[in-house]
Chains A and B, each alone.
Chain A
Amino acid sequence: MAKKPATRRRTADTKKKPTGRGWLAILRRWLLQLLLKTVLWGGLLAILVGTGYLYYLDRSISKTFEGRRWSVPAQIYAQPVELYAGKRLTNAELQVELQRLGYRQTSDLSQPGSYQPIAGGVSIHLRAFAFMDAPRPSMRITVMFVGSRLQRLSYDNRPLDLVRLEPAVIGSFFPSHGEDRVILTPDEVPALLANGLKAVEDRSFDDHQGFSVAGILRAALVNLRSGEARQGGSTLTQQLVKSYFLTNERTIERKLRELAMSVILELRFSKEDILTAYINEIFLGQNGARAIHGFGLGSQYYFNKPLNELPAHQIASLISIIRGPSYYNPFRHPERTIRRRNRILDTFLADGLISNAAHQDAIGQSLGVVDSPNSGGAYYPAFMDLVRVELSERYSADDLRTQGLRIFTTLQPSIQANAQRAVSATLRSIENERKQEPNSLQASAVITDTQTGEVLALVGGRQGRVDGFNRAINAQRPVGSVIKPLIVLSALENGFEWSSVVDDASITLTPPNGEPWSPRNYDGKTRGELPIIKALALSLNLAMVDLGNRVGIGTVQGRFQDLVGYAPKNPYPSFFLGAEPMSPLQLTELYGNFASGGFHTPPKSVIAVLDEQGVPVSHHPFDVTQTIDFATASSLNAGLQLVMQRGTGRSSPFSNQGVAGKTGTSNDNRDSWFAGFDNSRLSVIWVGRDDNKPTDLTGTSGAMRIWNAIARAEGPDPLLPDIREDLVAIEYDTGLQATSKCADVVVLPIRQPDNLQIKSGCSLKPSFGERLRAIFKP
């Protein structure tokens, strides 16, 4: 018991009085403990932070990978070309269509996507395609022609009633960051591409876990030997990571992040997934705002063919672009691209991916890219604007950009091409002839099917394949005299006849709350009293204002609203002369009522939408609503045919070929319009300047010339004469009933012929011959 305090005291003494060595030991121990604790806690913290960071990386990589893998822009298709006996189509035109779709001329037809001209026709190996109503397998057909008609179709030596070419892909709705792609599944990736990519870009792809030290060393050695950057050290996985997540900055931090992400990607996904993602992701070129991503779209963009139809040299060309889409741009630097392509073909040979013979053949090939960007496949930005507007009411922008929808539209590429050519060539001619500043004129055009309202072509400006202001949809210009048929329609519906007399005389109108208005005729002259048909044919302003006043502006504007679905902006009588701004598309909607025989057929561009699996999502049926009594619409169209035959349209070479139409010119010749139709197509054309300066053009000398050029390329489809009992011959100058023997007559429907006055000196009794024919009439 007595020793205990002594011990305590000794200890206390030791603390109180340490030796020098003891102090050092304590300090050392304390420092060691501190270090140990710091390392321990620091390590723990590092592990926690590192784990958190890796978790974050893992989450973001997985999310992005999955998201990007299935984020597919909607694909937009044109109308397929239907082939059937009797169709108006020449052998040459069919071959142009095939070339447009990227079919190649061969001698054996062993592969889909090929054709072979034969005597009197062409044999085709069609590609398989899932149409909106039925899938069609790949098949060989023969098409025979006689003159300008398709004579017969056969499949496997059996007659075939009809078949479709697959529709052209005309674009896609890619996201705002501009990335466009056509997604391929692993099955759709050619073996040569997959193996070739590994051979050229990443030899140890099948073995490494995201990065390859050996690969980096090998690349360094190769580059050192060759004196140029022939091989990259990054694996395909690293390239994919870089494309997905990282920038081009060259820092250690970025490289480490790339390595970590690559390892995570390898741990999370299969090699097949990663390779397919790479093939769908990699950047292959820039086309304006559109970034070409993936080999599926790259193949279409550069070669206008699906990837599975590319020969070895074109696959090698695409692989060559990866290294530098700008440096190895095949359009701009073909020689440079061919050199790299050939080196890649050498690698293919060395790795046994292609035979000696195939290598020899491939080395000798030209690049084989399409003529220029945008000529591969098809690209119609103006029409796509219309599709976008139509779909935006029912689909979100995100759906259109990511859900892989397949959108079938009404566009007919051959008509579009003809219309675009007509616009560009005619404007050039007009500028040359009139010594106007080159490229000062602009134009737009809309062409629809008269019965269904489907938009077959839409030209937004003189440069078709350029995104820009879409004049067909967005330009609001005074329509001038093309509005006049609306006045006549209102008149015919309110007791007037074609023979009714109107007064072409000077007039001053002062509407309530409006300025006095004194319209004039285009030539400044007045013609006095004359029938409505002549006033319309000669497009006489004063006579039309007289008629409009007698019918009433409320009545005319009410009909305008019935026919286009909105009220006019201009409430004043100047509306009668077309002081009403409209877009070519709106005017098409108005004239659709006439061309269809009295039905409101709003221009439509979408037929159906299918989801990525090909299941129909929505169908946009024909939209027709009767707005005009058929007899009245038919009567109006008879008058519009006379406008072409005798009036402002008479200088057209097609004026006597069963076409109806009306010209229009706004004040000071700022806007030149033509709206015309035949049996199957309605066209509305506008010509003017973007700065709204005068053009020196009338509807006849501007817009109608473009229509003439389109009609020349397409060939008119004459309106069939209506068989009706109320046709009466009236004198063109007076509207009096007459015969061709005693007057210059036109034949038009008259509902109340008994009210007509007979021209003095005209005998309306039938001739002996006519009576004889009447007797023997069946």
Chain B
Amino acid sequence: MTLMSGCASTGGNVGVIDREKQGRPQQTELPQTQDPQTKEPGTGKVQVPVIAPPRSSAAQTLLARANTALRDNAPATAILLLERAVRIEPREAQLWMRLSKAHLDKGETQIALQHARKAIALAGTDRNKQTGAWLQLANVYEAQGRDSDALSIRQRYERGSG
């Protein structure tokens, strides 16, 4: 098969699935029990505050599975799970934050940047969500080589969250 998409770049807004990591999805949907660890698994760079989970148990479950996928270095799977969660709770900042991380892990820094901004916009007055979203933006800036921008965010929010 000679699909045109096969030679599409990973830029723009169409992601080409990393088949080595992704392949055919193996994990079935059943049974879906909630992973207790919905907290940021940690990148070693920032200490993200504990953020209240999404309201619905459905989004919580998907977030937990996405976090597992991120830990397993399967960002493409995590993105599909998080997008599914966003369709259930579109205004949940934490989901966009994790989407930003998943795209960052996948090397899609421009998408990661915009998703982090979306998370900031949706965080509202929730201080922990604001901090988490800004620190995610700092991670993206670092990946883009914008170290001074990242540093100023860290100085502001890591101090605040500490």
Contacts and interface: CB of A to CB of B under 8 A. Distances in A.
Contact of A136 (B4, B28, B61): B28
Nearest to B69: A133
Given A85-B56, A449-B90, A617 B79 contact: no
Nearest to B83: A622
Interface in A139-162: 139, 155, 158, 160-162
A161 B58 contact: yes
A414 interface: no
A723 B77 CA distance: 35
B19 A615 contact: yes
Contacts of B117: 599, 626
B3 A617 contact: yes
A451 B86 contact: yes
B101 interface: no
B140 to A, nearest CB: 13
B56 to A, nearest CB: 5
Contact of A162 (B32, B86, B114): B32
Interface stretch (A52-60, A391-399, A504-512): A391-399
A613 interface: yes
Contact of B103 (A137, A451, A621, A720): A621
Contacts of A617: 3, 5-6, 16-17
A766 interface: no
Interface string A156-195: 0010111110000000000000000000000000000000
B115 interface: yes
Interface string B121-138: 110110000000000000
Interface stretch (A604-612, A644-652, A656-664, A755-763): A604-612
Contacts of A626: 114, 117-118, 121
Given A621-B83, A626-B117, A597 B28 contact: no
A623 B121 contact: no
Contacts of B4: 394-396, 399
B50 interface: no
A10 interface: no
A interface residue count range (under 10 / 10 to 19 / 20 to 34 / 35 or more): 35 or more
Interface string A93-135: 0000000000000000000000000000000000000111111
Contacts of A396: 4
Contact of A394 (B2, B8, B91, B99): B8
A619 interface: yes
B76 interface: yes
B43 interface: no
B29 A134 contact: yes
Contacts of B6: 617
Interface in B69-84: 76-77, 79-81, 83-84
Nearest to A132: B80
A101 B125 CA distance: 43
B31 interface: yes
Contacts of A622: 83, 86, 99, 115
Interface in B86-119: 86-88, 90-91, 99, 103, 108, 111, 114-115, 117-118
B62 interface: yes
B15 interface: yes
B28 A135 contact: yes
B25 A134 contact: yes
B122 A621 contact: no
B16 A133 contact: no
B121 to A, nearest CB: 4
Contacts of A136: 28-30
A160 B1 CA distance: 39
B25 A162 contact: no
B155 interface: no
B45 to A, nearest CB: 23
B14 A619 contact: yes
Nearest to A396: B4
Contacts of A614: 24-25
A517 interface: no
A403 B124 CA distance: 46
Interface in B21-51: 22-34
B144 interface: no
B76 to A, nearest CB: 7
A624 B90 contact: no
A144 to B, nearest CB: 15
A162 B76 contact: no
Contacts of A669: none
B19 A616 contact: yes
12 contacts: A85-B57, A134-B26, A135-B29, A162-B57, A399-B3, A615-B24, A616-B19, A617-B16, A619-B15, A620-B15, A621-B103, A624-B118
Interface of A: 79, 82, 84-87, 130-137, 139, 155, 158, 160-164, 394-396, 399, 403, 405, 449-452, 454, 597-599, 607-609, 611, 613-626, 630, 679-680, 720, 722-723
Given A86-B56, A133-B84, 8 more contacts: A86-B58, A133-B80, A134-B25, A403-B1, A621-B79, A621-B103, A625-B114, A720-B91
Instruction: Give the 3 A-B residue pairs with the shortest CB-CB distance, closest first.
Output: A84-B58, A451-B90, A616-B17
